[in-house]
């Protein structure tokens, strides 16, 4: 579930009166997602022809001070042809509001569905969409530090301490060893860019083999550009439990990215290390949430071990096999 803040329909209708968006017809809480509260709104539309919007109330992990970065980024990407949702301004030009005591925004609704079992063709389209996003991001003037970088992983590991072993015996030592490996091998000189940093299948909307929207930019930041492809790889080319690697999906994802953006030899050479970092990043955030979320909380905890299996795979795989030929 992801409706942490419940807003009465009358309050949403009054909120909509600030916009040229028509009157509220229905408001449904969206179950997917874990970070923010999301509602799908149907309105009469400003001309009475009906319209859909997303209403997002920002919860614990999104810092309000970062919202202007996300808003300007989506304007920049949207203006360059990327299918990303724009933040909608009210009649006074305001995009950030307060609703039910939380920072809140009205956001463009995009059509499409999130896949659970992507095909190679769908992975190819996603690789291409990521490459196009990186091209469109060129020239974006703002920067945001990635708080979930190598230093951030150390902080998270310190916070979890020996509690890792509640999840799996030996996990604390495994994380320590992996951090030491990444400290020694993390690449320093690769091109940097704005990255999405969380392009999981649930953040890509598709119709058939066509990408219709990239959403959920709330981890976007400035970091090693091809690390974004490593994150996407970790999320798209394995079974959910991380036990099976799908080489055909991986090759298609890489080919899609390469066709849209291109990969340098240095990026290819570092890719395996970057995948290890991506797997550790999601292992750590999931482990932290696992340890700190009571089992009876209303949110579904995501399995950290699904990312330990990916990490084990990346640590033993032949780097040349990760993206195919
Ligand atoms: N602009 C949009 N257009 C259409 N649907 C959207 C849009 N934004 C969000 N959604 C829907 O709401 C769901 C949750 O959104 P989102 O992924 O942004 O939430 P979240 O709480 O930040 O989740 P998480 O970080 O766990 O992925 C999406 O899976 C999608 O179904
Ligand atoms: N994509 C993350 C959740 C936060 O966006 C995960 O699956 O662990």
Which residue, judged by its Cα, is nearest atom 31 of ligand 1? 32
114 CA from centroid of ligand 2 (Å): 14
325 CA from centroid of ligand 1 (Å): 34
Which of the four pLDDT bands, split at 50, 70 and 90, describes residue 34? confident
Q: Which residues contact 188 (CB under 8 A, 6 or more apart)?
A: none
Which of the four pLDDT bands, split at 50, 70 and 90, describes residue 5? confident
Relative to the alpha carbon of 302, which ligand is closest? 2
Average pLDDT of span 164-172: 96
Residue 210 β-bridge partners: 207
Q: Which domains does the chain have, with CATH numbers?
A: 9-108 (3.30.200.20), 120-321 (3.90.1200.10)
Average pLDDT of span 207-213: 98
End-to-end CA distance of the chain: 40
- Averaged pLDDT score across all residues of the chain: 95
Integer Cα distance of 261 and 113 in angstroms? 25
Residue 325: the pLDDT is 62
Relative to the alpha carbon of 303, which ligand is closest? 2
pLDDT per residue as tens digits for the range 113-144: 999 999 999 999 999 999 999 999 999 999 99
**Ligand 2 near 198 CB (within 6 A):** yes
156 CA from centroid of ligand 2 (Å): 15
User: How open is the CA angle 226-113-138, to the nearest 5 degrees?
Assistant: 30
Integer Cα distance of 137 and 275 in angstroms? 22
**Ligand 2 near 282 CB (within 6 A):** yes
Residue 49: the pLDDT is 86
Residue 1 has pLDDT above 60, yes or no: no
Residue 222: the pLDDT is 98
**Ligand 2 near 196 CB (within 6 A):** no
Which of the four pLDDT bands, split at 50, 70 and 90, describes residue 47? confident
Task: Write down the pTM of the prediction.
Answer: 0.95
């Amino acid at each position: 579930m992801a409706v942490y803040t419940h807003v009465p329909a009358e309050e949403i209708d009054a909120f909509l009166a600030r916009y040229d968006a028509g009157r509220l017809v229905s408001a449904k809480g969206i179950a997917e997602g874990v970070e923010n509260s999301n509602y799908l709104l149907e309105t009469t539309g400003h001309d009475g022809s009906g319209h859909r919007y997303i209403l997002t109330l920002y919860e614990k992990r999104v810092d309000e001070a970062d919202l202007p970065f996300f808003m300007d980024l989506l304007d920049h990407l949207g203006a360059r042809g990327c299918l990303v949702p724009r933040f909608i301004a009210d009649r006074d030009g305001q995009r950030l509001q307060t609703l039910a005591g939380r920072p809140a925004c009205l956001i463009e609704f995009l059509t499409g569905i999130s896949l659970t079992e992507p095909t190679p063709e769908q992975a190819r389209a996603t690789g291409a969409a990521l490459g196009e996003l990186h091209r469109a991001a060129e020239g974006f003037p703002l920067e945001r530090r990635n708080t979930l970088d190598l230093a951030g992983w150390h902080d998270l590991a310190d916070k979890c301490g020996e509690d890792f072993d509640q999840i799996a015996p030996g996990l604390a030592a495994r994380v320590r060893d992996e951090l030491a490996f990444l400290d020694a091998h993390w690449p320093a000189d690769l091109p940097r860019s704005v990255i999405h940093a969380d392009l999981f299948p649930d953040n890509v909307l598709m119709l058939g083999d066509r990408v219709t929207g990239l959403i959920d930019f709330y981890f976007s930041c400035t970091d090693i550009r091809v690390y974004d492809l490593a994150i996407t790889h970790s999320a798209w080319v394995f079974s959910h439990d991380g036990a099976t690697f799908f080489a055909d999906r991986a090759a298609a994802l890489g080919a899609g990215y390469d066709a849209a953006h291109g990969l340098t030899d240095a990026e290819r050479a570092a890719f395996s290390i970057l995948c290890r970092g991506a797997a550790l990043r999601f292992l750590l955030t999931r482990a932290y949430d696992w340890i700190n979320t009571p089992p009876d909380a209303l949110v579904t905890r995501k399995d950290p071990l699904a990312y330990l299996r990916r990490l084990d795979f990346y640590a033993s795989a032949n780097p040349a096999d990760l993206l195919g030929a």
